[in-house]
Amino acid sequence: MTTPVKNRLEAAKGMQKGRITKYRPYPPIELEERRWPSQVLTTAPIWCSVDLRDGNQALPTPMGVAEKMEMFKLLVEIGFKEIEVGFPSASQIEFDFIRRLIEEELIPEDVTIQVLTQAREDLIRRTVDAVKGAKKVILHLYNSTSPQQRKIVFGLEKPEIIGLAIRATRLIKELAPTLSESQVIFEYTPESFALTEMDFALEISEAVIDVWQPTPENKMILNLPKTVEIAMPNVHADQIEWICRHLRNREAVIISLHTHNDRGTGVASAELGLLAGGERIEGTLFGNGERTGNVDLVTLALNMYMEGIDPGLDFSNLDRIRAIHEKCTHMEVPVRHPYAGDLVFTAFSGSHQDAIRKGMAAQDTTPGALWEVPYLPIDPADLGRTYEAIIRINAQSGKGGIAYVLEQEFGLQLPKAMHAEFGRIIQSLADTSGAELSSAQIFQAFEHEYFQSEGPYQLENLSIEQSNHASDTVSCTAQIRVDGVVRKVQAMGNNPAQAFVGALNQGDLANCKLLSYQAHPYTQGSDQQATAYVQVQTAAGKTLFGAALDADANGAAAKAVICALNRSEQIHQHVI
C-alpha cells in the first residue's frame, strides 16, 4: 500500500456528524417546464448487452474465450440484437474471441456486434482490425469529459479534450471504408457524462457529430453514461432532457443511456432517462459491473413486462439464464435479487402467505387473464419459476402458508378449520429448530401427528354399505380393538364418518360428536388413495382433528376418526 493511501486511511475517523462539509449535492439542472414527468413508457428501448465487455472487466477472474462464447450464445437466445463483444485492444483474449465470432460465422444475421475503443490512434487501428469481416458493427469511441478526469487524470483543458475526440472520430471515419464487408455504425460516449458540465457535454458531443455527419437515414449513437451515480434519478432525467432539447441535428442521433448503480438507483435512473428522451439502453444481466454494477437489464426489462410492455427479451427460463451467468462469471445472484433471486417469490410472513394462498386459489386461469395475486406482482410461471417455493415456513410463518405447502407439494387439502391446529404444531417445531423448515419436514410432521398416530383405538375390520332403508344413509359395521379387547359395533349415518362415530358411541367405546368430515382423492405416487379429515368433540368438550389415508374414502373416514380419538387420549395423558 502506498504511503499517501495508508496515511489517508489512518487519518479517517468515520463519518462526519452534523454539518457535512466533505461532500456536496449535485447542482440542479436549469430546465424550465420539464416534460419527462408527464411521459409514459409504451415501448421497449433498443437493448445493448455489455456483459462481454463492461461486465467482463468487472470480474475478479475475467471470462476466457469458452466462457465468453457461452455467454454470447445466451445473449443471442435471450434476444439481444446489439451486443458489445469486447475491448479488442485491451488483451489478446478479447481480440481472439472477436475474430472467432467473425471467422466461424457465429454472429446471427440480425445481431450487430459492438466494440469499444479509447481515443488513441493505436487502439483504434487495432479495434478496426479486430472487426474486419463482420457484417454489422458498432465502433464505440469514448473519452472522459468530467472536470475531475480533465484535471486529475489527464491534465488537459476543455479544448484539448475536444481535440482528442475530434481526431479519434476523424480516424475512425477514415478507416471505416476499409471495413468494406461491414455496415458500420458509429457510437460516441463522453465518459463520465453525468459529472460533466452540461454545456461542455453538449459542446463535445456536437463537435463529434459535426465530424461524423450522421443523417436521419444513417444515424449515429450518442451514449450518455451515468458512469458514476452521483445524484438522484430525477437529476439524470433532467440531464438527458436538457441534452435532447439543445442538441443540433437531434433527428440524426440515437440517444443511448448507460447507468451505473453507485447509489442503488441504476434501474430508476434508466427508467426516468427513457422518459426524458433516451431510446437505447446499455447494461448487463443482473447488473454485473464495476463497483456496485451496471443497470440490471433483467430487472429493467421485466419491470416493463410487468406494466404490459413487451420488452423484446425472453426471460421465460430465468433459472437457466441465471445458472449460465453464474457459471461464466463466477458471480452469484443474491437470493433477494429482483425476479431471479431464490427467495423473491417466497413469503415467510403468515399474513403474506395467507393472502398469496387465497390469491392463487382465486386467480383466473384463462390464458391472458389479468394477473391479480397479492404480494406477487408478476406470475412466477412466466419466468419459468415454480410455485413450490412461493411459501416457505419458519417461526414467522402462518397457518395459511403451511396449508399451502401441504396442498401444492403433497396434495393434502386441509379443511380451513384444521389450519390453526396443525399450524400450532409446526410453529412449535420451527421455534424449537430456530431455522426454516423444508416442505419435507412439514409433511413428515403431518404424517407423524395424523397418519401414524398411535393409541388405544385400532380398527380391525370395517364394512360400510348403502342403507336399504334410505338412499341418503349408510350402514357401518366395524370391529374395533380397544386396549387389546376386540368389540363389534354397528350404526347408520348420513356419511361414512358419521356412521362410524355412531357405531362407536352406541357400543360405548367412545362418547364423541362429529363436527365435520371432508375427503378427497390422493394421487401422490402411483397408488390411488383417499384422504379424509374429521373434526370431533369429546365428552370433555375438547375439539380436535384426525386425518388418515386409505385405499378408499370409507376406510379413510373411519381411520381419521380413530386418529382423532387416539390424539385425544394422547393429549389427555400429556395433561395428566
Question: Where is the binding site for Mg(2+), in residues?
Answer: 54, 258, 260, 294
Tell me the backbone φ, ψ of residue 544, rounded to 5 degrees.
-155, 170
The rounded distance, in Å, linking the Cα atoms of 294 and 261 is: 6
Residue whose C-alpha is closest to residue 517's, from 496, 542, 541, 538: 496
Assess contact for 203 and 231: CB atoms under 8 A: no
8 Å CB contact between 190 and 204: yes
Please give the Cα distance from 139 to 161 (Å, whole number).
20
Task: Tell me the binding residues.
Answer: 54, 258, 260, 294
DSSP string, 264-318: S-HHHHHHHHHHTT--EEEEBGGG--STT-B-BHHHHHHHHHHTT---S---TTH
CA distance 96 to 130: 8
CB atoms within 10 A of CB 391: 29
Residue carrying the nine cell digits 420488452: 311
Angle between helices 65-78 and 318-329 (to 10 degrees): 160
List helix spans (H) across 363-483.
399-410, 416-433, 439-446
With helix as H, strand as E and coil as C, how does 496-522 read?
Answer: HHHHHHHHHHHCCCCCEEEEEEEEEEE
Residue with cell 463466477: 330
Q: How far apart are CA 444 and CA 391, in angstroms?
A: 17
d(CA 236, CA 229): 9
Say which residues have a Cβ less than 8 Å from residue 303's Cβ, sequence separation at least 6. Answer: 267, 271
Vertex 529, ends 528 and 532: CA angle to 5°? 155
With contact defined as beta carbons under 8 Å apart, do 215 and 205 qualify? Answer: no
- End-to-end CA separation in angstroms for the chain: 72
Grouping H, G, I as helix, E, B as strand and the rest as coil, residue 253 is strand
Distance CA 132, CA 149 (A): 32
Cα–Cα–Cα angle for 183, 186, 189, rounded to 5 degrees: 155
Burial letters 175-204, b for 16+ CB under 10 A, else e: bbeebeebebbbbbbbbbbbbbebebbbbb
